[in-house]
Structure 1
Amino acid sequence: MIGIPNTRKRFKIVHELPKRIRLKSLVLLAPDLDHNYLQASVESLNGVKSVRINGPAFSIAVEYDGTPEVRSAIIETLDDIPQEAFLKDNEREHNVDLIDVGARTAAAAATPFLPLPVQAATSWMLGIPGIVKGLETLFTRGVKIEVLDGTVKALSLLRGDYFTSNSVGALLCLGEYLEDQSEQKSTDLLKTLLKPQVEKIWIEKDGRELEIDFNDLQVGDIVVCGPGELIPIEGTIVEGDGSVNQSSITGESVPIHLQPGDATLSGAVVEEGTLKIRADKVGAETGMARINRYLESSLRSQSKNQIQSAELADKLVPLTFGAGLGIYALTGDLARAASVLTVDYSCAIKLSTPVATRTSMYTASKAGVLLKGGQALDNLAAVDTIVFDKTGTLTKGELKVTDIVPMPLYEEEELLSIAAGAEEHYAHPVARAVVNEAKEQGIQLPEVSGVDFIVAHGVSAYVDGKRVLVGSQHFVEEDEHVDCSYMEKKATQLRNQGKNLLFVAMDEELIGVIAMRDELRPEALEALEAFKDAGIKRIEILTGDHRSTALALAAQLPPVDAVHWELKPEDKANIVKELKEGGAKVAFAGDGVNDTPALVCADVGICMPSGADLARESAQVVMLNEDMLTLVEAHRIALTNRETLSNCLWSAVGINSATLLLAGMGKISTLAAAMTHNLSTVGILGYAAMKTSSANKPQEYAKEIQ
């Protein structure tokens, strides 16, 4: 990272109202500062309503709820801008406003009525900055759009055609303004999704673990975070050690090992181990660290389509420049050469991709699906195979306990109490079903310690000093060597009824079995049929359930091509890999920590709204509500985006090529060529925004983005 200034305490308050504050700092002039990132950082704070950065005036205005806590958080965030807010080789926006457009338009309109010396002086004064910028670009970045613009102005000025020079300058300024507005509007739409959600967290108090609302957390509280959970605060580890993934904060993909005394970052995810963390910062103070990978991938990263479009656009600029020089060499006509040079392919091609992509992502979010960046959108459009985890994805994930079968010497209530106590901290549909049943029966849960989640198998915990195991038969019988033969006949009967089984053991002896049933989502069949109609070639189901339970479900879903049962996490990932090796473009939909390997392995990982934090972090696509038809809609939006980008590309190439040809033949003037180019660019951007924002409420979203 280069050129990163020391921003500590550099912002000065220049104006303040009860709910609005404006600050200034020269750091806003830093060439490598990413204004989008800084703006989103402040907007992500709870209580902040809007943020506006004025780069040339090096000021930032923030509207908020007026509370002292939020005011302090805003100032703290600005005075401690992190390194990731600074980008190497960051290209600045045009920074054109309506005043610039109006002034240049007025100057162009008045040019014919001014005395010749005044025309010349005014035109050269307006044209020199563009010419200088073109020369600077030529020597630093090569032949880019700025070189074309500067050359057109220079040729017009040298010919004494001051009206054309000023008119072209006004058109370019208007085009830049409209392009900036289109792209900024699509970016602003995405930023509305960055507000952190209120969440529940576990704290340790007086030797007990309690679940509280995140907003009730106090400095000094001890927060307990287990595997797969998001660390919600910035603090210090006081007990436990484990592996933590901080990629959403630092960008470093390799998990780090943390132990007592180490500091934690809010937004990181615990992959292994259980950590007890003393809260050093709470509430809005952790807002900066809570800007997760979604911000980076949405506003920064480029999809392959965007990169390819930019590369194509850059290759076409020298072609236009060479054509202009060739026309002049053949005809000696500066006017005709200038007309050719006004034609630039890059604006429409480069800008239509981010506008369409960001608008599509926003439209998908309004439909109920969050896409983490343009590449997720591209990948979703390319998918031809979808693999679903069963529980919580195709099914409601709202398991209901149907049978409680204790071993002799144990009562149903005792068995349920022990199982629910061990499962209470586990964010999984099976665990929720057991805990909810205990609460409905008014059963007091025992105090539990030493909870350990064995991914895809079950839970190990200590209840009243005795080790309790709760999980699948495979986990209890084969992994932990507990004899389950006594329950074999009853277990077979329950499975044949399509029920899921949970085996409970204590001190290495089976104490009972709990059966539950999960209903198919009512829209599941319709969604799978819609995917088939949309061109999805293959649909498969993966589950850790017993064979009979899995087949009972698959029988209700005719579009399913294959079902796999009794799977471990690595088995799910291996099936996804095999499909990919066979040439398929695979999407995997799941919701648990045990689904993470498959989510990472798939071309597109899709996480359900109730998914574990680690699953949400690993997925490229996160559903915002439980309706599977929203995923069908997101797939349609992705296909529409791909079609729109193709249409934008060929429209830009076709219109600009025709304009180039007419200009080269001398059929249109420099002014007409510039007007055609700029109007076509704005039209293509409008089409990109309109087409990709029409998923749910076409007119409403089209107005928002225009």
Structure 2
Amino acid sequence: MTECRVVHELPGRLRIRCAGFHDPSFDPAYMEAVLKNISGVGRVRFNIGAGTVVVGYNPDNTCRKTILACLKSLPAEACHPMQKCHSLPDPVGTAAKAVFSLVTPALPRRLAGVFSWAMGLPVLVRGMETLLTGGVKVEVLDAAAVGFSLGQKQYFTANAIVALLALGEYLEQVSDVKTIGLLSSLLRPRVEQVRVQRDGAEIRLALTELRVGDRVVCGSGEMVSVDGRIMEGEASLDQSSITGESMPVHVQPGDEILSGSLIHEGRIILDARQVGPETRLARINRFLENSLRFKSHGQQQSERLADRLVPATLGMGLGMFLLTRDIRRAAAVLTVDFSCAIKLANPVATRTAMYSAAREGILLKGAQALYALARVDTMVFDKTGTLTRGALEVTDVVPETGISRNDLLALAAAAESHYAHPVARAVVAEAKSRGLALSPAGRVDFIVAHGVSAYVNGRRVLVGSRHFIEEDEGIDCSEVDRSAGTLRKNGKNLLYVARENRLLGVIALRDALRPEAVRVLRDLKAAGIRKIITLTGDHPATARAVAGQLPDLDEIRWDLKPEQKAAIVSDLQKQGHQVAFAGDGVNDAPALITADVGICMPGGADLARESAQVVLLKEDLNDLVAARKMAVQARKIIRTCFNASVGLNSLFLLLAGSGRIPPVLAAVLHNANTVGVLGYAAAAGMQRPVKKKGPGL
């Protein structure tokens, strides 16, 4: 238990002081996520210095008690010894340092000295700690510059350096908080409430209140929100996000299913096996924070170069003092620090690009994702739900003698009109698009995962698979073998229609290609992608039919299991390719993790969304092209910032070393250059690429 007490309270608002907040390993962002996942909690704001948190909530006793109980028993994950926690932005402290540096010349000399040493002491201490534990790095150079200026009683210079250092830290912290907050909100659970059987009654609960062992009820049109085993009922389940197959499957008691599946028809009761939504948002926040703090390869290179320049600058300053005995000239040299702009421009450009991308519906999880996406030369797509829409459409109506195409379609649509199956929806939609009148159907009998039996105009009509029509109902289907074989070779699924024990014909359906797919593949090639491959678990005929519609597709492979997809991605990497994989199902998770960049579609399964480094939040593949362009643009911005920083600072260093500018002017020029470079990185990163719309077929 942690000592906790309410220090101020208004209706719907609590200010709570907790001793645990002073723990150095306490992670306020993690705890903020935990609190926000309590039903009824809105705004959460921590003040670690005061050891308090302000929580806004719906003013009811249950919510208040839950908040207090949560804070009195802090979860172990909230205090992680290995977690490097960052301080929250302090605008007041940053502004105070800036104001004091500006008024320093107007203060009495002795008073200015006292305050300046107090203001510079933290920088000096941090520099000494860095020197003893990490060697000669930028903190040492900052401390040397401040120390030289204080030693020479150049208080304005010392305070200006301290204020600008504080401003740089503040901007980086604000960037962190804004980016994490936006990305966290975009990844909130998509299912907020579930239906549960408790004490013989069916009630609706928030997902956060679900417990292991609860009996969760799922009906037609609903998404399964938990992992569990079916206890009662049967259903036709769309598991395209799990298996990659576009056709629904039949599930029954005893079957285990994963969250993210969609129930097309039927009703099931699940025994919840995997829950834990109370920490879902917290885990997302922790992952995002870690990923944002994980430095990309390019950022690591910049920081290594910056660290190597620090000893050179420090050596030049000391050498200048030994040669000229002019401490003002030496201090001027020390105030010109290459590493500030070099180190800060990369994370600022990266975070700005991530924020801008998120506003466009493109979620980039960290600097490494952005860096890797800019270097990708090979794009690998899963087929179902990625290049295709995962929705069937009627392509052919093939009647037998004695019935027309429209009559066959109208008869099938009449029988299917009360059926919620995706095949039925496709048939009914096609009939309506042709303006066909549908006769009323009676005595409708759904045979899950097989077909439908109905009486239309007093005569029994059967619509379904060949197995249902021929084997279950004993109707000969051999007359359509030739046409059926041709349709299957073209990658189409077949629906057999019979009436009064006689086959009337077949209707062919196919998973429709996304209308923008052709243009997107062409634009990816134009954006520098050299090779595009599609992988699928579908049959060869279906795969070839899709490939035939995509002129920029270089290769397609079929009949693949999840581990085979990952192995293909791994083989491409061994050949020297930088690989991005785009998918949306649980079966895609191994390939998403294996690839240099994993990209998940908006309707993807939860496991796929968590495995991917890039998540598209809108059903538009054009966003993938936009993401690639943003990544390339961010890399160009970083290079421009690097060149500008090195070039201008070299000029300032030459002027300082020759004694042509005093320490104050050197500090102003150097810090103005740093702020200018960071401003350019932020402004340029907010520019949005133009996204092409339309199919472009």
TM-score normalised over the length of structure 2? 0.73
Following superposition, the deviation at residue 399 of structure 1 comes to: 1.4
> Is this contact kept in 1: 2:180–2:288, CA < 8 A?
no
Is contact 2:182-2:358 (8 Å) kept?
A: no
Q: Map 1:502-517 to 2 at 5 A.
A: 516-517=509-510
| CA distance in 1: counterparts of 2:126 and 2:572, whole angstroms | 52
Alignment pair present for 1:342 and 2:335: yes
| Contact 2:354–2:363 (Cα < 8 Å) also in 1 | yes
Q: After alignment, is 362-371 or 629-638 more displaced?
A: 362-371
Q: What amino acid maps onto 1:301 in structure 2?
A: F
Is 1:360 the counterpart of 2:353? The answer is yes
Residues 194 and 204 in structure 2, CA contact (< 8 A), matched pair in contact too: yes
User: Which one of 22, 29, 44 corresponds to residue 51 of structure 1?
Assistant: 44
Q: Partner residue of 1:549?
A: 542
Q: Deviations over 1:427-458 (max 9, x none)?
A: xxxx854798799989978798xxxxxxxxxx
The 5-angstrom pairing of residues 165-184 of structure 1 reads 165-184=158-177
Match 1:672 to one of 655, 662, 665: 665
Please say if 1:622 is aligned against 2:641: no
Q: Work out whether residues 189 and 359 of structure 1, in 8 Å CA contact, stay in contact via their aligned partners in 2.
A: no
Q: 1:11 to 1:555 in 2, by over 3 A?
A: same
Amino acid in the other structure paired with 2:148: L
Q: Distance in 1 between matches of 2:35 and 2:199?
A: 36
SS at 2:186's partner residue? coil
Q: 1:609 to 1:168 in 2, by over 3 A?
A: closer
Shift of 1:603: 2.1
> Is it true that 1:26 corresponds to 2:3 in the alignment?
no
Whole-angstrom CA distance in 2 between matches of 1:215 and 1:92: 29
- 1:534 aligns with one of 498, 515, 527: 527
Q: CA deviation at 1:64?
A: 3.8
Per-residue displacement from partner, 1:468-513 (whole Å, max 9, x unpaired)?
A: xx9999xxxxxxxxxx99996464133145413599xxxxxxxx99
Aligned partners of 2:124 and 2:143 also within 8 Å: yes
Change (3 A) 1:635 1:653: same
* RMSD, aligned CA: 5.1
Question: 1:128 aligns to what?
Answer: 121
Distance 1:202 1:188, change over 3 A: closer
Q: Aligned-pair distance for 1:386?
A: 1.4
Which residue is equivalent to 2:344? 351
Query: Residues 175 and 678 of structure 1 are in contact (CA less than 8 Å); yes or no, is this contact kept in structure 2?
Result: no
Judge conservation of contact 1:543–1:566 (CA < 8 Å) in 2: yes
- 2:154 aligned to 149, 161, 167, which one? 161
- Residues 117 and 627 (structure 1 numbering): CA distance in 2 closer, same or farther, change over 3 Å? closer
2: distance between equivalents of 1:96 and 1:313? 25
Which of 389, 403, 406 in structure 1 is aligned with 2:382? 389
Query: In structure 1, how many angstroms separate the alpha carbons of the residues matched to 2:182 and 2:116?
Result: 39
Q: CA deviation at 1:194?
A: 4.2
CA distance in structure 1 between the partners assigned to 2:626 and 2:59 by the alignment: 39
Query: Equivalent residue for 1:195?
Result: 188
Q: Residue 593 of structure 1: CA displacement?
A: 3.1
Show the 5 A alignment for 1:176-255. 176-198=169-191, 221-223=214-216
**Residue equivalent to 2:5:** 12
1:35 is the counterpart of 2:12: no
Q: Tell me if the contact between 2:156 and 2:664 (Cα under 8 Å) persists in the aligned partners.
A: no
Report the Cα distance in structure 2 between the residues aligned to 1:443 and 1:93, rounded to whole angstroms.
Answer: 66
Over 3 Å counting, the alpha-carbon distance change for 1:434 and 1:401 in structure 2 is farther
- The 5 A counterparts of 1:25-104 are 25-43=18-36, 47-86=40-79, 88=81, 93=86, 97-104=90-97
Query: What residue number does 2:254 align with?
Result: none
Secondary structure in 2 aligned to 1:399?
Answer: strand
Superposed displacement of residue 639, structure 1: 1.2
> Per-residue CA shift, 1:102-122, capped at 9, x if unaligned?
544454455444444444434
Rg comparison, structure with higher value: 2
Q: Secondary structure at the match of 2:687?
A: coil
| Inter-partner Cα distance in structure 1 for 2:583 and 2:495 | 20
Partner secondary structure for residue 558 of structure 1: coil
Displacement of 1:656 in angstroms is 2.6
- What is residue 554 of structure 2 aligned with on the other side? 561
Q: Report what 2:596 is aligned to.
A: 603
For the residue of structure 1 that corresponds to 2:546, the secondary structure is helix
C-alpha displacement at 1:41, in angstroms? 4.1
Which deviations, in whole Å up to 9, do the C-alpha atoms of 1:141-161 show, x marking residues without a partner? 333333223322322232233
Q: Which residue of 2 aligns with 1:149?
A: 142
Cα distance in 1 for residues equivalent to 2:603 and 2:576: 31
Q: Say whether 1:372 aligns with 2:368.
A: no
- For residues 302 and 341 of structure 1, what CA distance do their matches in structure 2 show? 27
Q: Report the equivalent of 2:502.
A: none
1:494 and 2:487 correspond? yes
2:639 to 634, 642, 646: 646
CA separation in 2, counterparts of 1:651 and 1:187?
29
Question: C-alpha distance in 2, partners of 1:545/1:236?
Answer: 27
Distance 1:114 1:433 in 2: 81
Q: Secondary structure at the match of 2:45?
A: strand
Indicate conservation of the 8 Å contact 2:582/2:601, yes or no.
Answer: yes
| Residues 145 and 317, structure 1, Cα contact 8 Å, conserved in 2 | yes
SS of 2:316's equivalent in the other structure is: helix
Superposition deviation, residue 534 in structure 1: 0.9
CA contact (8 A) 2:33 2:281 kept: no
Point out where structure 1 has 5 or more consecutive residues left out of the alignment.
1-7, 240-264, 268-273, 406-411, 425-430, 449-458, 461-469, 474-483, 504-511, 699-706
Distance 1:578 1:678 in 2: 48
Q: Give the match for residue 506 of structure 1.
A: none
Residues 140 and 562 of structure 1, relative CA distance in 2, 3 Å threshold = closer
Deviation, structure 1 residue 531: 0.9
CA pair 104-618 structure 1, distance change in 2 beyond 3 A: closer
Aligned identity (percent) is: 48
CA distance in 2 between counterparts of 1:221 and 1:109 reads 63
Summarize the Cα distance change of 1:543–1:491 in structure 2 as closer, same or farther, 3 Å threshold: farther
Partner SS, residue 628 of structure 2 = helix
**2:454 is matched with which residue?**
none
Distance change >3 Å, CA 79–CA 380, structure 1 → 2: farther
Would the alpha carbon gap of residues 624 and 126 (structure 1) be closer, same or farther in structure 2, given more than 3 Å must change?
closer
The amino acid of 1:493's aligned partner reads T
Letter of the structure 2 residue corresponding to residue 25 of structure 1:
C
Q: Which amino acid aligns with 1:181?
A: V
Matching residue's letter, 1:349: I
Of the three residues 568, 573, 582, the one matched with 1:575 is 568
Mapped partners of 1:672, 1:87: distance in 2? 44
Moved more, 182-191 or 365-374: 182-191
Letter in 1 for 2:344: L
Residue 317 of structure 2: aligned partner: 324
Q: Which structure 2 segments of 5+ residues have no match?
A: 233-257, 261-267, 399-408, 432-440, 451-463, 468-476, 497-504, 692-697
Q: Report the CA distance between 1:293 and its aligned residue.
A: 7.1
Aligned partners of 1:658 and 1:677: how far apart in 2? Answer: 10
Is 1:339–1:674's contact at 8 Å kept on the other side of the alignment?
A: yes
Deviation at 1:644, TM superposition (A): 1.7
Aligned-partner SS, 1:291 = helix
Compute the displacement of 1:662 (Å).
Answer: 2.1
Q: TM-score normalized by structure 1?
A: 0.72
Q: Distance in 1 between matches of 2:181 and 2:210?
A: 33
CA deviations over 1:352-404 (Å, ceiling 9, x no partner)? 33322222222222222222222222222111121222222212211147799
Contact preservation (8 Å) 2:208, 2:276: no
CA distance in 2 between partners of 1:168 and 1:135 (Å): 17
Alignment deviations for residues 574-604 of structure 1 (CA, whole Å, 9 cap, x no partner): 4333333332222222223333333333222
- Of 518-527 and 350-359, deviating more is 350-359
Q: Does 1:311 align with 2:304?
A: yes
